[in-house]
Structure 1
Amino acid sequence: MPLLDIKNLTLEIDTPLGLVKALDKINLSIDSREVRALVGESGSGKSLVVKSIVGALSDRWQVTADRMNWKGQDLLSMSDSQRRAITRSEISVVLQNPATALDPSATLREQIEESIADSQLDKGWFWQRRQQRREMAAQQLHKVGIRDHDLCLASYPHQVAEDIAQKFALAMALVSNPKLLIADNPTMGMEPTTKVQVLRLLAKLNKTRELSILFVSHDLLAISAMADTMTVLYCGQTVESGKMSQLKRRPLHPYTKALLDSAPSFRRDLPPKAALSCLDGTIPTLQHLPIGCRLGPRCPRAQKECVKMPDVRRIHDHHYACHFPLHRDKT
């Protein structure tokens, strides 16, 4: 049984023009010790998927799903307190903009020590437990590359640089020893040396502590080094998912191929100083979504049938939603 199992997740947002589907039948599952990448260009709905999992959405937005389970328990039927308890102890999140996620009225020391549960501490007097919290906080900051922990912990969120805030948010997410880490662009703004250090830390935790990771990022090179499986989103829809090695070698959806071709690291045949390939056009707005396949207006393989929503098809563990997939003359 997977840790997280989502089927047909739909998110509708109320706009002056009526309800629009920001997410349309998203499918996602994460097993124990799995590292799954969630990729797609800006506006594809990656952050909305993350917020839907942890329940950080507006009450005015309508969230439905055929199945949205955590260890077999239905997340949508839980109360807010039950969802918060799971998020506190078992699911940790690093949001895309840590500066706005942190409490501006509390020091970083107060925030990270509050994240350390009493069950993680040894028995003792209250001053001994307080000292344990301080030592654990300092150790966690060192692991993510923050050397001057005293200065960092004494600061407020607005007093530290953006990259330090990003590292601190990651340390705060890992300090509770979660079962699942949802990392929304965790290395954004970091220098290359620190980025490698953070990725090695996550890979080590995945192997030694059996930490499952949902890795949301635009960095395809980091994703290819970290992820076992990958789910590709476009405009709020799941277009393809499967093993990372299989998707890199033989993508079936035109959008997946365009996404991989846009990264020079995956183009061995790319001549020096050659122009990078990209799809024409831009991702549509929620108020002007195309009928049927949402990639249709930009897809080089689009035909008349694309005005209908494509069914999700499966080849072993490889899922795709396309009327005219690559490498397959007959569908």
Structure 2
Amino acid sequence: MDLLDIRNLTIELDTPQGQVRILDRINLQLKPGEIHSIVGESGSGKSLLAKAVIGVLNPAWRLTADRLWWRGQDLQALSFKARRAITGRDMAMIFQDPAAYLDPNNTVEQQIIEAIPAGDVTGTFLRKRMDRKTRVRQLLHRVGIRDHDKVLKSYPFELSEGIAQKVSIAVAVAHRPRLLIADEPTTAMEPSTRNQIQRLLTKLAVSENMAVLLITQDIGSILPDTQNLTLLYCGQLMETGNAVKLLESPAHPYTDSMIRMSLNNQSQLPHKARLPTLPGTVPTLRHLPIGCRLGPRCPNAQKQCVIAPSASQREQQLFHCHFPLNEPSS
């Protein structure tokens, strides 16, 4: 059974210019232990989708879905209190700027202790206190922090960017969530630190059988063991499926462009070569194109693209495009 099952999720917003569809019929399935990466430019709706999963959307936004299930339970049918209980118990989220989300008034030790469920420690007051401190040290070791004595006494502003991100991961996994959402956790980090965080997330997914939903702008920074990959653009799903298949033979022009624009490919360009970028910019919500929203920027666009393409299937890939790439020869 899928851990998370989303079918045709749509988020709409009322504006003075009329109703705007911020997310347009998004589908997503996650299994226990799966690493799933969501890739797209800024403004594509990646973080909005994550917020819809954990239930922290703006009340003014209208969410509808044919299915929004967590472990077979309909999240839309739950009360606010019941939804919060599931989110607090089974889900956790880490962010791009950990220092901004860690409490600046408390030490690292205090923040991790607060995240440990009360039921994980038993016995007398002193025994509970000792068990919590032991658990905190174990969590820091698990995320790759060896000098725990120094880090435990530190405040967030005293930590380096890499250590702060590891601490935020320790806080997130303290209650053993079934789903960890990582919203661009390695953006602007130096390569060595970025690789450490990526290896850590992969290790947690394997050792804890925890699903990881990674959100990133650079397709080259997805986790090495990513099983499935989803490409979003301007609130629409462009392509999704097996990560290896998508990277080797993308069907959608947007997927192909994101691969060409990845930092990994740019490092191999000859000196003074032009960067392979899509023309134009992501449109604003007030000026969304009709049909396929990539149309005005797509190198393969034709008149038919003013009609929204239906979903097409090819092996382990699902895409929305009238003129797909790398079509198998008949």
Provide the TM-score with structure 2 as the length reference: 0.91
Q: Is the 8 A contact 1:163 1:189 kept in 2?
A: no
Shift of 1:223: 1.1
Runs of 4+ in 1 over 6 A off after TM superposition: none
User: Which region of structure 1 is more displaced relative to structure 2, 16-25 or 61-70?
Assistant: 16-25
Shift of 1:232: 0.4
1:120 maps to 120
Query: C-alpha deviations, 1:187-206, integer Å up to 9, x for none?
Result: 23433333322222222222
Q: Is the 8 A contact 1:94 1:184 kept in 2?
A: yes
Amino acid at match of 2:75: L
2:55 maps to 55
2:10 maps to 10
Amino acid at match of 1:182: I
User: Which region of structure 1 is more displaced relative to structure 2, 41-50 or 15-24?
Assistant: 15-24
Once the two structures are aligned, what percentage of the paired residues are identical? 47
Shift of 1:146: 3.9
Amino acid at match of 2:233: Y
User: Which region of structure 1 is more displaced relative to structure 2, 101-110 or 250-259?
Assistant: 101-110
The whole-number CA distance in structure 2 between the counterparts of 1:54 and 1:17 is 29
Q: Does 1:311 align with 2:315?
A: no
Q: Is the 8 A contact 2:245 2:316 kept in 1?
A: no
Shift of 1:109: 3.0
Shift of 1:115: 1.3
Amino acid at match of 2:284: T
Amino acid at match of 1:64: T
- Tell me the secondary structure at the aligned position of residue 313 of structure 2: strand
Q: Does 1:327 align with 2:326?
A: yes
Q: Does 1:297 align with 2:296?
A: yes
Q: Is the 8 A contact 1:170 1:186 kept in 2?
A: no
Q: Does 1:218 align with 2:195?
A: no
Shift of 1:224: 5.3
2:192 maps to 193
User: Which region of structure 1 is more displaced relative to structure 2, 214-223 or 251-260?
Assistant: 214-223
Equivalent residues in 2 for 1:67-82 (5 A)? 67-82=67-82
- The alignment's C-alpha RMSD in Å is 2.4
Q: Is the 8 A contact 1:185 1:218 kept in 2?
A: yes
Cα 1:163/1:7, change in 2 over 3 Å: same
1:65 maps to 65
- Tell me the secondary structure at the aligned position of residue 77 of structure 2: coil
Query: C-alpha deviations, 1:60-102, integer Å up to 9, x for none?
Result: 1111111110011111221222222222221111133434433
Q: Does 1:41 align with 2:46?
A: no
Provide the TM-score with structure 1 as the length reference: 0.91
Shift of 1:310: 0.8
Cα 1:98/1:16, change in 2 over 3 Å: farther
- Tell me the secondary structure at the aligned position of residue 96 of structure 2: coil
* Structure 1 unaligned residues grouped into runs of 5+: none
Query: C-alpha deviations, 1:292-320, integer Å up to 9, x for none?
Result: 11000001111111111111111233100
The whole-number CA distance in structure 2 between the counterparts of 1:44 and 1:150 is 41
User: Which region of structure 1 is more displaced relative to structure 2, 47-56 or 256-265?
Assistant: 256-265
Equivalent residues in 2 for 1:118-267 (5 A)? 118-121=118-121, 123-158=122-157, 160-223=159-222, 225-263=224-262, 265-266=264-265
